[in-house]
Amino acid sequence: MRRRAFLAASAVGLVAAIGATACSRIPVIPKRPDPDVSTAIGWIAHRDGHFTLTLPRAEMGQNIATALKQVACTELGAEWDRVDVVLHATDMPRVKATVGSESVMLFAEPLAQACAALRDALAAGQVAGLVRVRARPVSELRALRSGGLIGASPELVQARGIVTGEPLYAADIRLPGMLYGRVLRAPASVELHSGPRRWDIDAARAVPGFVAVVKDCGPPIGKAQGLGIVAARPGALDAIAEALQVEWDVAGQHPHADIARAIDVDARLGAGALPHKVLNGAPEAGPWDVDLRLDIPMAAHGPIEPRGAVASWEDGALRVWAGTQDAFYIRDFLADAFGLSAGAVTVQSCRIGGAFGGKTICTVEAEAAALTLAVSSPVKVQWTRAQEYALGFHRPPSSHRVRARVGQGRITDWDHAQMSSHIMFTAAVVPSWMQRGTDVFAGDGGVARGMAAPYVLGRARAAYDMVRLPVHTGPWRGLGAGPNALAIESAMDEAALAAGVDPLAFRLAHVADPFLAACLERVGEISSWGKTPAFSEGLRVGRGIACGTYKETSHTAAIADVAVDARGRVRVTRMWCVHDCGLVINPDQVRAQCEGNLVWSLAMVLTDDLPTEDGRVTAQTFADAPIPRMTDTPTLTVDLIQSDRPPQGAGETVMVAGPGAIANAIRAATGRRLVRLPARAGDLAL
């Protein structure tokens, strides 16, 4: 460990400065190896008639612990109560980050192979030592075909612990002598150099529970250096922060503080062709039948649990408990930031109270580590909701121009242009000098995701460009697929209107994939498509449809009914969804994922709009960046197509259909196309 410390003690507290080694100029890059049978054998162990499954994924409410336990029990031939599940730490071989709806798709088969090998070894009399895995044909695996626990919905792993208050989350961790910390940062863009100039230490010391002010509190977030505070009880942190009256130095103003102007797609098109091509067709010149602009604002992830971490320094080793989607990246980051070997850092995964792509980087974990190094006691750091908004990354805003030409009932020409900000190469990790390189040579697959429409479109072009914004942007449920699909499905509906063709029939005429076509046909059946929604006095009602394919493997279609009153207020009254994700391990949990996506769809169209001012997020609570409430949720019908295809992703797929169905229903009810989100009552009022 390379550490230098300054402690100036007083009767009621101390001021501490710890010198974490400067972070590398080249950032720590996440390593995300795909799983295989050689690593999977380390996930399952047997002792005294019981099995322990070390979960190789983060558990964040998608209940992957239950699904993989179903796989393990089935392949082992073990009763449910003979398999215990524990969350992984970084003292095992590296596992891939929990992202991309990949958990069942990538991890079920290796786990099944490992469990089959262990079952055979036990049957042969082996009771100790390592088991050699012989990969066998998938057709021989019990867990990858329907029957028994596969296709059932047993009791959820950790469900009883959640309702009885067991310590499952990082916030539940209690260590002897634990203190509580927070790192204050300037109320400014994290892309501007900022740091504390002066503060009132005497006033802070007068607050009961004050322990320390930490001047060097670890790596910056973006370019924002912080000032740490430590207290004996969490309730003192707000009072200490207020008493300090910190004055901040902030360098200048961000050149793109006006975010809407920075991502204006038409202004960008006026400057020349977009550099990153998704579809390379060459539409013919001439007038367009559909010429649609759609502006989608920035949105927060909105997890119920703001991120938190506990750190403890003991015997030359750092141990961290955190609700993270990538414990191994956190370990690598902390080792780099504090000049430690990877072996000197252990990160224990905790259950996460919602993540949606937002808890993949190292923030609060580094703050907790810096503070525990400074005060030589365990420290818990729990972000506030305001910190979650100000310091996390968010779904980037995007501005779309979609044009289509129709001939003889078919789309003959298509052009989709998008201006947005970074997702995969998020500014929260990638410095501007490196991002300029990725912009030139790689583009951003997150921004591009879903821009290739799932239709046969004739001469089709799709292209995009990006700008680094003053607010950090990054992965959000489905990456760019949700916004891109919303733009595409809005344009498809307008093209159907221009062609004079029923929207469902129009889509079917343009779909070549039989799995997607089956979803469309099925959702039409279960919703009685073509039937007018029930009419209510004083309300305009409409029905909309949308569909899509996520990551070329999972397919979905959705229909929404809406009612719009004379003042322009929208209520979604009913939604239907059909989903094909191959073999379903746990139908209740796949339905839950679909339902969650449908509620996110409500938010995307009706509420999502993260407020900013002068290039910084100003939201403090859910009142400033609302999410749908239970009273906003319509009746949801989810139908899963039974399939013998290998299991595919289910956590994000419906984001490509739900928002479009709602937007198209509003169009059907009002005759007005949403061109900026969220829907505003004034735009829809009579």
**Residue 128: pLDDT band with limits 50, 70, 90:** confident
What is the per-residue pLDDT for 228? 98
Q: What is the pLDDT of residues 285-341, one digit of tens each?
A: 999 999 999 999 999 999 999 999 999 998 889 999 999 999 999 999 999 999 999
520 and 606 assigned to the same domain: yes
* Number of structural domains the chain divides into: 3
Last residue of a domain, one of 349, 382, 415: 382
Same-domain status, 181 and 138: no
Residues 243, 146 within the same domain: no
> Is pTM beyond 0.85 here?
yes
Q: Can you tell me the distance from the alpha carbon of 387 to that of 281, in angstroms, rounded to the nearest whole number? A: 44
- Report d(CA 640, CA 618) in Å as an integer: 41
Structural domain includes residue 557: yes
pLDDT at 20 over 50: no
Distance CA 501, CA 549 (A): 22
Same domain membership, residue 439 and residue 311? no
Please indicate, yes or no, if residue 32 is contained in any of the structural domains: no
Kindly report the average pLDDT of the chain as a whole number.
94
pLDDT confidence tier of residue 536, bands split at 50, 70 and 90:
confident
Three-state SS annotation for 45-111? EEECCEEEEEECCCCCCCCHHHHHHHHHHHHHCCCHHHEEEEECECCCCCCCCCCCCCHHHHHHHHH
Q: Are 176 and 157 part of one and the same domain? A: no
Same domain, 466 and 611: yes
State pLDDT tens for residues 351-377. Answer: 999 999 999 999 999 999 999 999 999
- On the question of a cis peptide bond just before residue 483, with omega within 30 degrees of 0, the verdict is no
Which residues make Cβ contacts (< 8 Å) with residue 269, sequence separation at least 6?
401, 417
Q: Are residues 158 and 178 in the same domain?
A: no
Q: Domain boundary residue among 163, 193, 225?
A: 163
Residue 10 lies inside a defined structural domain of this protein? no
91 and 146, same domain (yes or no): yes
540 and 458 within one domain: yes
Pair (464, 577) in one structural domain = yes
Find, among 459, 461, 450, the residue nearest to 486 by Cα.
450
- Domain of residue 204, CATH code: 3.30.365.10
| Residue 176 and residue 225 share a domain | yes
The better pLDDT of the pair 557, 26 is held by: 557
11, pLDDT greater than 60: no
Which of 90, 109, 88 lies closest to 36, judged by CA? 109
CA-CA-CA-CA torsion sign (651, 652, 657, 661) = positive
- Whether 313 is covered by a domain: the verdict is yes
Tell me, yes or no, whether 7 lies in a domain.
no
Note whether residue 12 is domain-resident: no
Is 9 domain-assigned?
Answer: no
Asked if pLDDT for residue 450 goes beyond 60, the answer is yes
In a domain, 540, yes or no: yes
Q: What are the counts of helices (DSSP H) followed by strands (DSSP E) for the chain?
A: 19, 25
Domain shared by 270 and 143, yes or no: no
Residue 586, C-beta contacts closer than 8 angstroms, at least 6 positions apart: 63, 66, 67, 70, 152, 153, 154
Range of the domain at 577: 259-299+394-683
pLDDT tens readout for residues 521-534: 999 999 999 988 87
Last residue of a domain, one of 320, 349, 382: 382
